[in-house]
Structure 1
Amino acid sequence: MSENANNDKNDLLNALNSVNEVKVGDVVTGEVLATDDNRQLIVGIEGSGVEGVVPERELDSSQKFDDIKQGDKLKLVVTSRIGSDKEGGSFVLSSRQLETRKVWDELAEKSKNDETITAKVSQAVKGGLVVDAGVRGFIPASMISDHFVDNLNQFKGQELELKIIEIDPVENRLILSHKAIVQAEKAEEREKLMQTLHEGDVVEGTVARLTSFGAFVDLGGMDGLVHVSQIAYERVDKPSDVLKVGQQVKVKVLSVDFDRNRISLSIKQTLPEPWDGIEEKAPVGSVLEGTVKRLVDFGAFVEVFPGVEGLVHISQISHEHIATPGDVLKVGETIQVKVLDVDPERKRLALSIKALTDAPEEDKPKHDTPKRSPRKPRQSSNNNNAPEEETGFTLGDIIGNELKNHEDK
């Protein structure tokens, strides 16, 4: 064999040896050769002698299909093979997945260094939140906050600081936690709160949770409990009737026990006292509208202002004899009442329904009936006193006042 023939053979062997085998997962450089009708780039993979295609959807966020020209070189990752033989085979390539790979590498580095990331919540799904961290991330419901969250949709669109709990690029698995961030922040805020919060302080907080027995208010670092009885002066059946999660409220600190993580609060004690100015709001002889709140054997308690209840004694309900107040009144009923007496110091109102209605004809005095001499007021005895309640009057009080009014006419 001639020397020239040997040289040609060696050149061919060297050329074949220089051709690299392309494998799925390789990062390669592709030169744009053309485009096709399916909006794909036809590229030649440098150093391999084979071609590949890049679908438009596989371009990264910085690339636009119509801006790419023949001869442009792109950094790409091989995602799959088309065909089986090396010479005639082709590959699908992607710059988008290469961009994603970089994101995974950055996230892995942050996880290794125990760094946090910030990501926007894109979707609320059953069991947690989906976030966009450059790749899809997931926050399980149990890792959203340091307490149970009922409405996950409230986080949609929010940017949250997150701790990486688990990362697996091969499985596209990224588990994140916002709870860890909340707990760390609250631990720091709690230390500050312990130095500044004292019994009797009036502070502002945010309603964090509502339960059947009260409202938990976030004071910044710790939650305090406003018992249902401390929400308002008027009776509150359900805290959710008057408060909403996220609402800003002013509260008074009733007690503090940091060792047991307990803070007792009151909204009611920051509000105006409902009995203040009661003599002006409910003067004797005035007619008020009220709601029947409670029925007892000796009468009915009627709320005439929020937090202000008065007693309509059974004798002041009707001109006719009734066995029990429940014979003519119902809890929740709205009625008109007349104020018979006011006792601001003892926080008591004596009310009457009967005084607003005319007596039956048979009870009215006849014109030819001789005038009776004035009767002396009877002294009330202990046997005539009805049981006293927080806003009631004794039967002796009421009868005595009524007789006095009768004598003065």
Structure 2
Amino acid sequence: MAEETMKDFSKEIESSFRKIKEGDIIDGTVIGVNDTEVILDIKYYTQGIIRLEELSDDPKFSIHRDINVGDEVSATVISTDDGEGNILLSKRRANEVLAWDKLNALLESGEYVDVKISEAVKGGAVAFLEGIRGFIPASKLDLSFVEEDKLADYVGKTAKVRVITSDEENGKLVLSAKDYLKEQADLKRKEMVSNVEVGLVTEGTVESLQNYGAFVDLGNGLSGLVHISQICNNRIAHPSAVLKVGQKVKVKVISIKDGKLSLSMKALEDIAATEITEEKIEYPSDGDATTSLAALLKKAGF
């Protein structure tokens, strides 16, 4: 025990004579607080002093409420002599340096963090992360672009964001809430797709027409593609020859791959699809399953 105490004592002596220079970030323990400054034990032959104006940028900061004796504090050396032989420090400046280090790490990892949206501004919203003002563009605030007159609806809400730009030199921090929302929507969609079976016959609405086929909205956030070869038995040059956006159509699920639904209208021209209410799902032994997709997903808990 005595040997261990001597080792600790030797380390403290060695530490007290280390070279400290301006710009260094050092750690210390608060040993005193008054109206104008905080005094730190920095394991040095002299004390560290943080003046009130160098404690925080937060206008709501209170030296007596937010700093307590015993707190561990990181601070930047702004002068090795405050005129009285003490090391002059800045917690505010250290916070900013350490914040950008953390923000760069978040950019690298892609980790999601919670922020509270504090205000709406032109083209997006503002949220503070690690004390740094971050901008969330309107295109990254939700799954779809948020119009200017709707931005205020997000103020005060908590969002899970990812850092997509961290530029300390220009003080530019850009965040995205869309990435997390899209991941969650994709997971939910895959889970719903897993409850759909090949052979299901249901109704949907044509949401878009492409050269290669038509996308049909099946409701509940699900959609599928009717390839041009599966629209009808006749050969057509473009889906618009048979379909139009907004049209209600009956489709059959013919395959499910990588969470995507392939649909067919042509397959229904050769069978007599049995209509069934949302309240009752039947699977004819010699035919295809016919039901409302909403009813199917409701039974699955969606």
> TM-score when scaled to structure 1?
0.37
Higher Cα Rg: structure 1 or 2? 1
Q: Which has the higher contact order (CA 8 A, sep 6+)?
A: 2
> TM-score when scaled to structure 2?
0.48
